[in-house]
Amino acid sequence: MMSSLDPDIAARLKRDAAGLVAAIIQQHDTSEVLMLGWMDDEALSRTLSSGRVTFFSRSRQSYWRKGDTSGHIQQVRSVSIDCDGDALLIKVDQVGAACHTGARTCFEAGGDLGALDAVTAPAP
C-alpha cells in the first residue's frame, strides 16, 4: 500500500523490521501514559490527517482506529518524534478507557511488577 505520509516526516522515521514505529499515547493535560501501539507510515498519515489515532495491528495485520467500536476515542492534540526517530509521542484527549480491558490505562491493567523496591533500596 502506498502511504500518503509527508516524505519529510517519513524520512525521519526509523522503523523496525516489520516497518513499524512505537507510538506512546499520553493524556495531554495530565501526562498520564495510556498505552503503547504500533504505527506504519500509513497509520501515522491517517492519524495526522484525521485527528484521531490509527494504529497498525500486528496480530490482525490491519489498521484500526481507536474508539471506532468502543467509543473510547483518542482525539490528537500533538504528535512528536523522539531524537532517534524510532518512537512517537502522541498526546491525546482520551474519551473513556484507553485499554481494551476497560481500564483507564493499559499499564493500570497490566499491574505493578514491584521493581521499585530494588531501585529504592539503600546502597551497600
pLDDT digits (tens, 9 = 90+) for 19-59: 999 999 999 999 999 999 999 999 999 999 999 999 999 99
Among residues 60, 68, 16, the alpha carbon closest in space to that of 41 is found at: 16
Domain residues for 106? 7-120
In a domain, 1, yes or no: no
* Grid cell locating 56: 497498525
Q: What is the CATH number of the domain that holds 87?
A: 3.10.20.810
In a domain, 79, yes or no: yes
Tell the burial category of 12 from Cβ atoms under 10 Å away from its Cβ (0-12, 13-18, 19+): exposed
pTM for the model? 0.86
In a domain, 52, yes or no: yes
| DSSP one-letter code for 52 | B
Task: Provide the number of structural domains found in the chain.
Answer: 1
In a domain, 88, yes or no: yes
In a domain, 2, yes or no: no
pLDDT, residue 2, reads: 61
